[in-house]
């Protein structure tokens, strides 16, 4: 399927680029590249782009100068575009996320090889970066792990490499599940199961750790099942929302016997770690 590329320039860029990414992610856009002047966003050609532009860029709610352009990228050109824009990602000293075409990279910590295709999760976005950091800072890696909204599979891969014994990686897009499995194979992962589906795939399963890097509304709609699926004392790692959403998310999760244990942020994005009481 062809892909729409939406290039948006913002003046000033911050914090409006992060706000725009959040709005576009709710409307069918699933991959983003930050630029010095704004953001480039990608979605399937089935998205009603004129409606999305009207509801986000042209609605007059952002106090910023905006100009935008759009084009259609044939499916076969997607990898070339990613190879142009995808640079190695360093998650402090913990890990380096590289693509197969990166050569002679001076990596630090764990090396994770990701060919993104059309999936979200290369480590470039602040939320993926924070979730990766959080996995390394767990005291112990639980045996049973769920990576909900796995995208490229990068977090599932890191979880296995850190000692998980069974990882279930789920994404609602079939091409993401396929891409995640391909990336697991690239990293010699043996215990990650990649599935296409939604939260219904989780019912009846039990986990010591649930990783969910999705937008705020979906996280809230999933919360009951996350809580039910966590073992006592289990850990829930959440991202995909802004710093301004943290209090709302902490209050919401408290209704499910989930207790906040850690919060940190990167730029305008936030991360929360919770434990099941």
- pLDDT tens string 108-143: 999 999 986 655 556 678 899 999 999 999 999 999
Can you give the pLDDT at residue 104? 82
Which of the residue ranges 35-44, 53-62, 150-159, 161-170 would you say has the lowest mean pLDDT?
Answer: 53-62
8 Å CB contact between 195 and 177: yes
Q: Are residues 163 and 267 in the same domain?
A: yes
Mark which of 11, 44, 78 sits at the end of a domain: 78
pTM of the model: 0.74
In angstroms, the CA 114 to CA 217 distance is: 27
In a domain, 119, yes or no: no
- Characterize the bridge pairing of strands 144-148 and 89-91: unpaired
Q: What is the CATH number of the domain that holds 208?
A: 3.40.50.150
Q: Are residues 151 and 35 in the same domain?
A: no
State the SS3 of 197-243.
CCHHHHCCCCEEEEEEECCHHHHHHHHHHHHHHEEEEEEEEEEEEEH
How far is residue 132 from each of residues 39, 129, 166, 239, measured CA to CA in Å? 22, 5, 18, 11
pLDDT average, residue stretch 198-206: 91
Q: Which two tokens stand for residue 243?
A: 């710093």
- pLDDT tens string 9-23: 998 888 888 888 888
Mark which of 78, 97, 117 sits at the end of a domain: 78
pLDDT average, residue stretch 246-252: 95
Range of the domain at 31: 3-78
Q: Which two tokens stand for residue 130?
A: 């924070």
Can you give the pLDDT at residue 122? 63
- Alpha-carbon dihedral 163, 220, 260, 138, rounded to 10 degrees: 10
In angstroms, the CA 263 to CA 213 distance is: 14
Q: Are residues 134 and 269 in the same domain?
A: yes
């Amino acid at each position: 399927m062809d892909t729409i590329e939406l290039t948006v320039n913002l003046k000033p860029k911050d914090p409006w680029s992060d706000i725009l990414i959040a709005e576009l992610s709710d409307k069918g856009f699933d991959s983003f590249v930050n630029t010095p002047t704004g953001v480039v966003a990608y979605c399937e050609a089935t998205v009603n782009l004129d409606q999305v532009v009207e509801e986000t860029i042209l609605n007059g709610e952002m106090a910023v100068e905006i100009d935008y352009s759009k084009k259609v990228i044939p499916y076969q050109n997607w990898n070339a575009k990613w190879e142009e824009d995808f640079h190695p990602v360093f998650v402090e000293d913990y890990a380096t996320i590289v693509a197969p075409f990166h050569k002679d990279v001076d990596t630090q910590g764990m090396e994770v090889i990701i060919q993104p295709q059309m999936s979200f999760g290369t480590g470039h976005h602040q939320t993926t970066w924070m979730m990766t950091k959080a996995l390394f800072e767990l005291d112990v890696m639980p045996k049973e792990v769920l990576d909900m909204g796995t995208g490229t599979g990068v977090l599932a891969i890191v979880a296995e490499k850190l000692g998980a014994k069974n990882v279930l990686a789920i994404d609602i897009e079939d091409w993401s599940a396929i891409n995640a499995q391909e990336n697991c194979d690239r990293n010699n992962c043996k215990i990650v199961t990649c599935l296409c589906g939604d939260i219904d795939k989780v019912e009846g399963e039990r986990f010591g750790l649930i990783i969910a890097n999705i937008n705020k509304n979906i996280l809230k709609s999933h919360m009951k099942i996350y809580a039910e699926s966590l073992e006592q004392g289990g850990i829930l790692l959440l991202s995909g929302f802004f710093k301004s959403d943290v209090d709302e998310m902490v209050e919401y999760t408290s209704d499910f016997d989930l207790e906040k244990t850690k919060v940190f942020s990167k730029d305008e994005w936030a991360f929360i770690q919770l434990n099941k009481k």
